[in-house]
Amino acid sequence: MKDRTGAPKDGACLVLQGLSKKFGGLHAVKGIDLEVYPGDRKGIIGPNGAGKTTLFNLITGVFLPTGGKVLLFGQNVSGWPTHRRTKLGMARTFQITSLFPKLTVLENVLLAVQGLRQMKWVMWRPIKSYRGVYEKAYALLEQVAYADRKDVEVRHLSHGEQRQIEIVLALASDPRLLLLDEPAAGLSSGESSEMAAFLRNLDPNLAILMIEHDMDVAFSVVDSIAVLHYGELVEEGTTDHIRSSAKVQEIYLGTG
């Protein structure tokens, strides 16, 4: 969404301007322009190797761009390390699981809220006795309809539920922009629909930018989609527009 001058509107969570990344001779991400506003639900699709994960790594600061800019909540963060970007209100999930399987759902969330996850295990008193932390963790679980399962050890949850709890951990920092890289990867079709329902029920003010391979999940969660192909953004629009796009069909049929 742009105004008539083509400039991003005020209040954007994320603006990418001509964003590029070369790995040696390989142009993995090529001149991407993209905008995400509060409450947007935007999908990124494209064949394997299209540059989707590299794009996320540029947004989160895992890689620095070789060209262009990343603006987060109005600030040019292009050269910033990840932790500074996170503090502005951005969160992401990781493909590798970050849960403690023998702790309960609530204990995992408590640790995320407390920010203990990066610290040494110095426990002066039971973490549950920190009232603010407990209340915050419980409120988060209530929001995502997990309060009734708070005392279940994470290892007893289904794989799909564990993936949902990983997203809850990302929400512990109160992000305004959430980046999800293939949230339904490795899930059964039933678990994928549950994941889609879970994502649809998240706070409507939260902006979500989501890479997703499973089209049923992508189309049922997002309002608009950007299509990457060989590092370039080749099509962007509503889900209806993308569904009927000849260009997108060509890419997916391998004739593009």
Ligand X SMILES: Nc1ncnc2c1ncn2[C@@H]1O[C@H](COP(=O)(O)OP(=O)(O)O)[C@@H](O)[C@H]1O
* Stretch of 25-33, 38-46, 53-61, 190-198 contacting Mg ion, by CB under 5 A: 53-61
- Rounded least distance, CB 14 to ligand X, Å: 18
Estimate to the nearest angstrom the gap between the alpha carbon of 240 and the chain centroid. 22
Instruction: Decide: is 59 part of the binding site for ligand X (CB under 6 A).
Output: no
- Residue where the block lists tokens 């963060």: 77
Instruction: Decide: is 180 part of the binding site for ligand X (CB under 6 A).
Output: no
- Rounded least distance, CB 17 to Mg ion, Å: 22
- Residue where the block lists tokens 């499973």: 214
Q: 61 contacts which partner out of ligand X, Mg ion, none, CB within 5 to 8 A by kind?
A: none
Residue 54 or residue 86: which is nearer to Mg ion going by CB? 54
* Stretch of 52-60, 98-106, 149-157, 161-169 contacting Mg ion, by CB under 5 A: 52-60
* Exposure on the CB side of residue 52, measured as CA atoms within 13 A: 22
The only residue of 39, 49, 67, 256 in contact with ligand X, by rule CB under 6 A: 49
Tell me how crowded residue 163 is: count the other CB atoms within 10 A of its CB. 24
The only residue of 5, 48, 118, 129 in contact with ligand X, by rule CB under 6 A: 48
Output the CA torsion sign for 154, 155, 158, 163. positive
Helical residues (DSSP H) of the chain, grouped into ranges: 52-60, 82-87, 105-114, 131-143, 159-171, 189-200, 215-221, 239-243, 246-253
**Contact residues for Mg ion, defined by CB under 5 A:** 52-53
**Contact residues for ligand X, defined by CB under 6 A:** 23, 26, 28, 46, 48-54
